Amino acid sequence: MSDPVRGGGRRAAGELEGDVLGVLWAASGALTAAQVNEALPGDLAYTTVMTILARLYDKGMLTRQRVGRGYAYTPVRDEAEHTAEQMVSLLEHGSDREAVLARFVSDLSRQDEQLLQQLLRGDQEQ
């Protein structure tokens, strides 16, 4: 891929990875590249899906098991854990942790704010 963001309707590599992970998180078990490709919206080339799966595997985000001549893939972490890790990583790499947290909390909906307060108090299971 020369420039994953350019072109009409073309998705960026990170967006494709997110879409592939979304399909795998929604599945009840391991999926092959063909199954992932079938579940994705649009008309992606099979080789593109294979490349994304291989990249996610190389990053340690997927496990794979041999199925016939190919592999079936399963996410290492569930969606909540993956998202939480991304949030922590962003927070750790910011220059002003307090400002980031303050902005995050100020942008929460009333319901999310109440849920966060309950979680901090230990009132609700995660």
pTM higher than the cut 0.85: no
Q: Do 47 and 85 belong together in one domain?
A: no
Please tell me whether residues 86 and 48 are part of one structural domain: no
Do 93 and 53 sit in the same domain of this protein?
no
- Within the chain, what is the greatest distance between any pair of CA atoms? 52
Q: Where are the alpha helices (DSSP H) in 1-126?
A: 13-26, 33-39, 46-58, 79-93, 97-106, 110-121
pLDDT digits over 39-90, tens only? Answer: 999 889 999 999 999 999 999 999 999 999 999 999 999 999 999 998 999 8
| 62 & 86 share domain | no
C-alpha closest to that of 20 among 63, 49, 45, 58: 49
Q: Are residues 17 and 69 in the same domain?
A: yes
Residue 97, both tokens: 């942790």
